[in-house]
Structure 1
Amino acid sequence: MPVLVITGTGTEVGKTVTTAAVAAAALAAGRSVAVLKPAQTGVLPGECGDADEVARLAGPVTTVELARYPEPLAPATAARRAGLAPVRPSEVAEATAKLATEYDLVLVEGAGGLLVRFDDEGGTLADAARLLDAPVLVVASASLGTLNTTELTARELRRQDLDLIGVVIGSWPDNADLASRCNLADLPVSAGAPLLGALPAGAGTYPAPDFRARAASWLSPQLGGTWNAAAFVSAQAH
């Protein structure tokens, strides 16, 4: 796939580190990669944003930000409060399509969840994905409550006729509790899509060489990795 849109079921679910893992696996396979962050919020000029973090972990990817707003808010709100122009879904689609002519894989990392607003007209990452006709990967948490947010996200993707290719758990705990272990079986049911990976908790703190060496082992072959869902579920059941 030349373009993959990556969204989360909410904030702090491991979306950026998952994007980095997908990028690292693609680079290891010899593909050229660009990472587009439509709207970076909560970061001042000169500071490292999510796309920069992906590059730090994954390696030589091209990073593009379309807009940056200083306050850690939804993009539309942050743009309005900063007196800056918002990002439109059409701009996201146009920039992504241009990158797709130059790179083997373009990863578009959203802000927060699928329906977080880019502008005051209600434009979202879902709108950009639809304009691109691109598949969407959902990053979810492992813990109690994730089934609801994952199913809501999946239902909205289907309502908008978008292609949900699967779910990745963005942070799998070292000592998983009962709810997390049960969620391994329940998440694909809630999403109506396969589980395509699980990143260990704290993966974003790994030294970059270790992260790059291990990234493919956290992702399924559909995402360029070697991770096996059935084997992982079985191992966690004991």
Structure 2
Amino acid sequence: MSVVIVSGTGTEIGKTVVTSAVAAAAVAAGRSVAVLKPAQTGVGAGEPGDAAEAVRLAGASVTATELARYPEPLAPDTAARRSGLPTLAPEEIAEATRRLSLDHDLVLVEGAGGLLVRFDEAGHTLADAARLLDAPTLVVAQAGLGTLNSTTLTAEALRARGLGALGVVIGSWPADPDLAARCNLADLTRSSGLPLLGAVPAGAGGLAAERFRAEAPSWLDPSLSGTWSEESFLADWAPPVFGTALI
């Protein structure tokens, strides 16, 4: 597995922190890592973007690459049109990823928002880049109410396009989860058909970088170079009896 697409089920759910954690765990396992952010929106010139944040958290050995930047916090296609800047085609994303994969063991391609957010006037999305790369997608989901629907829709969109999915990582697991979040731990797998591969604690992005790197493997499944156990996590957090799934 040399390329992984990282897509969220929405915005502001911890996608960059999960990308950083996967990068940190891979580096700790002795792998060379690159993080590619095809389209960075909502960040001005000279300001650090998501790829730079991944380097800050995961370590200076991580290579950060950004292909396009748009100042307004909008979908890439909309942000490009409003700013008068060129849009980004999936072929450009695929080519940049292939170049990085030549000298990195793992390339993480972090999307903007969800899987089907438009990148250009033709309606191309991150899913189109994933198809060109024949790369699996890691889905980052929220913990609480509403996540069953959005995660299952993302999983169905991947299957409908013949795209592979690694599984789901919860982007921000609360310190004091409510009943919906706790029930969703098991229901996410039943609803989406995807395995649960980790849970990143809420606020992890605010940790000191050294602590983030040390703890990142404990948030992720061994398939992501981590030590996290779904069985142990559910034993700690899932309710002892499940009733009707919360949506």
Percent same amino acid at aligned positions?
68
CA-to-partner distance for each residue in 1:180-208, whole Å, 9 max, x for gaps?
Answer: 00000000112211000000000000000
Aligned to 1:47: 47
Map 1:25-104 → 2, pairs under 5 A: 25-59=25-59, 60-104=61-105
Separation (CA, whole Å) in 2 of partners of 1:209 and 1:191 = 34
Mapped contact 1:114–1:125 kept (Cα < 8 A) = yes
Residue 171 of structure 2 aligns with an amino acid whose one-letter code is: G
Offset of residue 117 of structure 1: 0.3
Q: How many residues align?
A: 238
Kept in 1, the 8 Å contact 2:186–2:238? The answer is no
Alpha-carbon distance between aligned partners in 2 of 1:11 and 1:23, rounded to the nearest angstrom: 20
Unaligned runs of 5+ in 2: 240-247
Cα distance, 1:57 vs structure 2: 0.4
Letter in 2 for 1:4: V
The corresponding residue for 1:226 is 227
2:9 aligned partner:
9
Tell me the residue number matched to 2:242: none
- Quote the RMSD (CA, aligned, Å): 0.7
Partner residue of 2:24? 24
Contact 1:167–1:191 (8 Å) recurs in 2:
no
The aligned counterpart of 2:186 is 185
For residue 103 of structure 1, report the CA deviation from its aligned partner: 0.4
Relative to the length of structure 2, the TM-score reads 0.95
Hey, what's the Cα distance between the residues in 1 that align with 2:170 and 2:25? 16
Query: Cα deviation per residue 1:88-116 (whole Å; 9 max; x = unaligned)?
Result: 10100010011111100000000000000
Compute the displacement of 1:237 (Å): 3.3
* Alignment check: 8 A CA contact 1:37 1:109 kept: yes
* Unpaired stretches in structure 1, ≥5 consecutive residues: none
For the 8 Å contact 2:3–2:109, the answer to whether it is kept is yes
| Alpha-carbon shift at residue 68 of structure 1 (Å) | 0.3
The one-letter code sitting in structure 2 at the alignment partner of 1:113 is G
Q: Aligned AA for 1:15? A: K
Which amino acid in structure 2 is aligned with residue 129 of structure 1?
Answer: A
TM-score (norm 1): 0.99
Asked if structure 1 preserves the Cα contact closer than 8 Å seen for 2:90 and 2:124, the reply is yes
What is the rounded CA distance, in whole Å, between the counterparts of 2:94 and 2:182 in structure 1?
37
Q: Are 2:185 and 2:238, in contact at CA under 8 Å, matched by a contact in 1?
A: no
Q: Which amino acid aligns with 1:220?
A: D
* Cα-to-partner distance string for 1:65-105 (whole Å, 9 max, x where unaligned): 00000000000000001101001101000100111111000
Kindly provide the CA deviation profile for residues 32-55 of structure 1, in whole angstroms up to 9, marking residues without a partner as x. Answer: 100000000000110010001111
* Matching residue of 2:112: 111
**C-alpha separation between the residues in 2 aligned to 1:99 and 1:195?**
28
Give 2:39's aligned amino acid: A
2:25·2:213 contact (CA, 8 Å) conserved in 1?
yes
Please give the alpha-carbon distance, in whole angstroms, between the structure 2 residues aligned to 1:171 and 1:214: 15
Aligned mates of 1:41, 1:220 — CA distance in 2: 30
